[in-house]
Amino acid sequence: MIVESYLYEKLNGDVRCKTCWHRCVLKDGKWGICQVRKNENGKLLVYNYGLASSIALDPIEKKPMHNYKPRTRVLSFGSVSCNFKCDHCQNFEISFADLSYPYLKELKPEDVLMLCKEYRADGVAWTYNEPSIWHEFALDASKICRENGYFIVYVTNGYMTPEALDQFNFLDAANVDVKAFRQDFYSKICKAKLENVLETVKYMLKKGVFVEITYLIIPGYNDSSEEIRDFANWVVSVDKRVPVHFSRFHPEHKMMHVPPTPVKTIERAIEIAKKVGVEYVYAGNVWGHKNENTFCPNCNEVLIERYGFYVKKINLNKDRCPSCGYKQNIIL
């Protein structure tokens, strides 16, 4: 199904897309960077509406979301293509695919609600590839699901515009990838701008979206103590209670030559972030590590015990530590 974009500006035959921070200006017949939006006779048309490449029921911890609705299950949806071109993309089979991808299934917004009921999900997650390029369908389907009691989560590179977030004013939570804390990395590896991602995080928080951040540590690229410290200081300047996941890199796509992240590097990053003042810091892709657990920032009591994506125990008095009474940034 092809629909007209919900966010664009007409410019004497050209159009300017306003869905993501690239804000592509397209002449007639030209496609945007995302490869799913096209200027057709002065109208910006969206070609991926309802086209799903991936549907799966996941624990919310897999997103990863550790402080929002732990132990719930989300029905996850992905489409194709992306507005980034990351050399290390872990879902490159779909993120670098176009509309000719052979396994696309067409859905209506009502189908998402039906599937949530069928799979007994607690919420919907827009994930796998970048969900903001699926804005129109994600918006329509989320509205229906939200009205029926399901919560909505985005797993995103943080490149959706303030205008897109204003339209999506019922987004409950998001995990945002901050892929590095140097523009040089974003220019070379992602073909994007770091400052725009940081603005999106701040705007999400301003709008009341529950935000967690993932920082995938890639050896030799974004793993210096100085860069990690700068990133952690920025988090504290925005909100020290935002949970941060330092995830272990595994070789993918055009970075098969880069070794996996040493666990000691993850532990060093966690130590730096905690010293700077980040309250919730997690080890990602390191199954069985103690920092998969949630600790009270005030007294270090174990509040949520995990193994991988699975919650073994929740030890909370509503939203407070049962040991010291400290109010947690955790939504049950």
Residues above pLDDT 70, as percent of the chain: 100
The label of the residue with tokens 């096209």 reads 38
Backbone angles phi, psi at 260, to 5 degrees: -60, 155
Q: Is the pTM of this model over 0.85?
A: yes
Contact assessment for residue 216 and residue 88, using Cβ atoms and an 8 Å cutoff = yes
Nearby residues of 185 by Cβ (< 8 Å), 6 or more positions away:
179, 194, 221, 222
Cβ neighbours, 10 Å, residue 169: 11
Q: What is the pLDDT of residues 57-75, one digit of tens each?
A: 999 999 999 999 999 999 9
Structural domain spans, the chain: 3-46, 51-314
For the residues 159-182, what does the mean pLDDT come to? 97
Band of the pLDDT at 1, cuts 50, 70, 90?
Answer: confident
Render pLDDT for 264-317 as a digit per residue (tens, 0 to 9).
Answer: 999 999 999 999 999 999 999 999 999 999 999 999 999 999 999 999 999 999
51-314 under CATH 3.20.20.70, yes or no:
yes
Cβ contacts of residue 56 below 8 Å, gap of 6+? 75, 76
Over the stretch 121-159, which tens digit does the pLDDT of each residue have? Answer: 999 999 999 999 999 999 999 999 999 999 999 999 999
Q: Please give the average per-residue pLDDT across 172-194, as a whole number.
A: 97
Is the backbone peptide bond immediately before 64 cis, with ω within 30 degrees of 0? yes
**Cα–Cα dist 150/127, whole Å:** 16
pLDDT at 290: 97
